[in-house]
Structure 1
Amino acid sequence: MQKKVLILFLVGILFCTFTITGCGQLGADNEKTSNAEEITIADEQVPLANTSVKVLEPSASGETVYKGTNVAVDASNTSQGYVMVKYSGKNQKIKIQITKSSGTTYTYNLNARNAYEVFPLTEGNGSYTLKVFENLSGTKYSQAFSKDINVKLKNQYLPFLYPNQYVNFTANSTTVKKGIEVTKSTTDDLKKVELIYNYTVDALTYDTAKAASVQSGYLPDVDAVLASKKGICFDYASVMATMLRSQNIPCKLVVGYTGNVYHAWINVYTPESGWIDGMIFFDGQKWQLMDPTFASSGKKSESIMKYIGNASNYTAKYAY
């Protein structure tokens, strides 16, 4: 099959209005108290993401479990690219931090109680440190648990095939079924990418009211987004990532910046193209520039297409 040009698959909207306070990692700007056991963690920002195919779903099999006070970490499936964490205490605000040695720190809210939540290991093979923090007050947290975990993936794509907090689905999700319906005419991965892109552009509109009111800690509900037919860029990226992952097409939900604005988009992998990491748009004959949210909300205007065609306008920070 002819080698395609590597391309970045972008999803999002430019006109976000959120203040940047540091997404998911501790920094010099974060307030600290004099108590050495207390630590300050900024809330996550909201980024403005064939019926025979087996949908991968995570499980806490119990083969490898690390326990602390009120905390259980099931690391049975690190080779599949994820860990699962359960908190059974009474604290209402729990943070999870996952850091690969010398890598980026990813911070998540742990929302469930007495039930496992899945967290991806997105930075490849190596040693990761997982920490659990309990809230003291405001943005002050105390470390409740820490564990170093060695990860050797069965393949590099697995973290981007399973669901997680940001791309949350099951085999029975309406969005998964819609992805099957949209792509039923082909078994070719690039054609599926095209069909899912076109469907998303046509089906969804940008939700300006939601963008103005959405709160820190927001996570997309892909089925609700699909039912309402509108969303912010985080929703666009999550819907598309759900459809692609459930078709066994590796897909990264990427969070970063467009200019100074927090933003979300996706990267896609196909065997013939590798990771698609340049901006593209399918015009019916060839892949050129692409940003489905811009294309949908901006109606493919010349100015919008020119903006998304400039890679320097985008800076990736996290991949989920």
Structure 2
Amino acid sequence: MKLPKRCRLAAAALALTLCAGCGSAPPSQQIESIAQNAAPSAAAPVQSEGGGFVAPEPLTATFDEAAAQTDNDVLWDTSHLAQGYVAVRTSQPGKIKFLLTYQGDTGGVPSQYSYLMPADGSPAIIPLQLGSGDYELAVCQNISGDKYAYLSRQTVTAALEDDFAPFLRPSIYIPYTPDSACVAKASELTAGAADTVDAVGRIYDYIVTNIDYDTPKAESIGTDYYPDPDETLATGKGICVDYAALAAAMLRSQGIPTKLITGYVAPNDLYHAWNMIWLEETGWITVEFEVKPGVWNRVDTTFAAGGAGSQYIGDGSNYTDFRTY
């Protein structure tokens, strides 16, 4: 994930805020409901039985070798378009990038996403986060400096079986499997939850309480960084995108549609990462805050963990959503 310098500056700003004696805000102030775009066409695939929360089996995202087609040493698996992703791998040497371009109306948000492909030749799972429609997919090889040449490209038409599909599975930014430690922890935390809202609250409280902000990492992180939810869980620390990826992995694995959002937070235009979740229920995440059903609810575990959330959340107008993963 390519992190602008402002993302690294966010660490210093947050640390300065805390050192200035900002009071610790209650977790309830880190979640805020907003209606964004049209509502997805299908209900969130979370089951409730007997008044309790029952998570479905975690959905997976895989590279199907048998379904893959080869072009210039690029293997394309486009058999999962309806499930909201494409899988691709290549053994070509050097720096390889995947370029995804949505060819429909995005409502003003970016239509193009660039991903650094794994250096070891393993498959990359690329989400179709902009929904159903036509996408140009391209694999490009670095030839010098910032110049790239196409290795292979094609246009596909995706008809998602569920508008939530890209936000219920692992992807290149949110890697996990049913055997991941973060999935096991999420299942442990949600066992016995009263409902989906309670399940979200348990995962949210765990992350806020147990993950510390890693200021040295934020100040030294390079470009093209990808988070590892299991590593964040094991080390107990991370930067904003680590918090957001861990939350997304844990919640998605429990059948709760979750986005990882990157964008900017006023008043200092801090480049930041947070989550949006979709619930079909209403209820209290904490004693102070109620989430709303049928809208995307904003969740910011980074600022909640740092105790500076009330200064940044406000009414949500200081958040500018830029890219969705």
TM over 0.5: yes
Correspondence for 1:256: 263
Of 295, 309, 313 in structure 2, the residue corresponding to residue 308 of structure 1 is: 313
Deviation at 1:292, TM superposition (A): 2.1
In the TM superposition, 1:61-76 aligns within 5 A as 61-62=64-65, 64-76=67-79
* SS of aligned partner of 2:10: coil
Q: Which amino acid aligns with 2:281?
A: E
1:284 aligns with 2:287: yes
Distance of aligned partners of 1:220 and 1:308 in 2 relative to their CA distance in 1, 3 Å threshold: same
Task: Give the alignment partner of residue 10 of structure 2, picking from 15, 32, 57.
Answer: 15
Aligned AA for 1:98? L
Maintained 8 Å contact 1:160/1:252: yes
How does the TM-score come out when normalised to structure 2? 0.76
C-alpha distance 197-281 of structure 1, shift in aligned 2 (>3 A): farther
Residue 67 of structure 1: how far off its partner (Å) = 2.7
Matched-pair contact (CA < 8 Å) for 2:213–2:306: yes
Q: How many residues align?
A: 267
**1:224 equivalent in structure 2:** 231
Query: SS of the counterpart of 2:140?
Result: strand
Partner of 1:202: 209
Residues 1:256 and 1:78: Cα distance change in structure 2 (over 3 Å): same
CA contact (8 A) 1:101 1:128 kept: yes
State the distance in 2 between where 1:290 and 1:94 align.
Answer: 33
Query: Which stretch has the larger CA shift, 65-74 or 123-132?
Result: 65-74
Q: TM-score, normalised by structure 1?
A: 0.77
| 1:173-220, Cα deviation, whole Å (9 max, x unpaired) | 111111111111215111111111111110111110111111101111
**3-state SS of paired residue (1:312):** coil
User: Which residue is equivalent to 1:99?
Assistant: 101
CA distance, structure 2, for counterparts of residue 208 and residue 128 of structure 1: 37
Stretches (4+) displaced over 4 A? none
Matched to 2:164, the amino acid is Y
Tell me by how many angstroms 1:80 deviates: 0.2
**Local SS of the residue matching 1:217:** coil
Distance 1:310 1:52, change over 3 A: closer
Task: Give the residue type in structure 2 aligned to 1:168.
Answer: P
Query: Contact conserved, 2:265 with 2:312, CA < 8 A, in 1?
Result: no
Distance 1:77 1:146, change over 3 A: same
Q: Which residue of 2 aligns with 1:83?
A: 86
Determine which structure has the larger helix proportion and give its number: 2
Deviations 1:272-309 (A, max 9, x none): 36xxxxxx9943253278532112112xx5xx414212
Gaps of 5+ in 1: 1-11, 19-49, 274-279
Q: State whether residues 51 and 180 of structure 1, in contact with CA within 8 Å, keep that contact through their aligned partners in structure 2.
A: no
Q: 1:291 to 1:113 in 2, by over 3 A?
A: closer
Instruction: Go from structure 1 to structure 2 and tell me whether the alpha carbon gap of 1:114 and 1:232 turns closer, same or farther (over 3 Å shift).
Output: closer
What pairs with 1:1-320 in structure 2 (closer than 5 Å)? Answer: 15-16=10-11, 53-62=56-65, 64-90=67-93, 92-102=94-104, 103=106, 104-186=111-193, 188-259=195-266, 260-272=269-281, 282-287=285-290, 291-298=300-307, 304-320=309-325
Identity of aligned residues (%): 36
CA RMSD of aligned residues (A): 2.5
Give, in angstroms, the shift of residue 127 of structure 1. Answer: 0.6
SS in 2 for 1:95: strand
CA contact (8 A) 1:290 1:308 kept: no
Contact (CA 8 Å) 1:95, 1:134: kept in 2 or not? yes
**1: CA distance between counterparts of 2:271 and 2:321?**
10
1:119 alignment partner, SS class = strand
Q: Distance in 2 between matches of 1:264 and 1:307?
A: 13
Is the 2:277–2:299 contact (alpha carbons within 8 Å) kept by the matching residues of 1? no
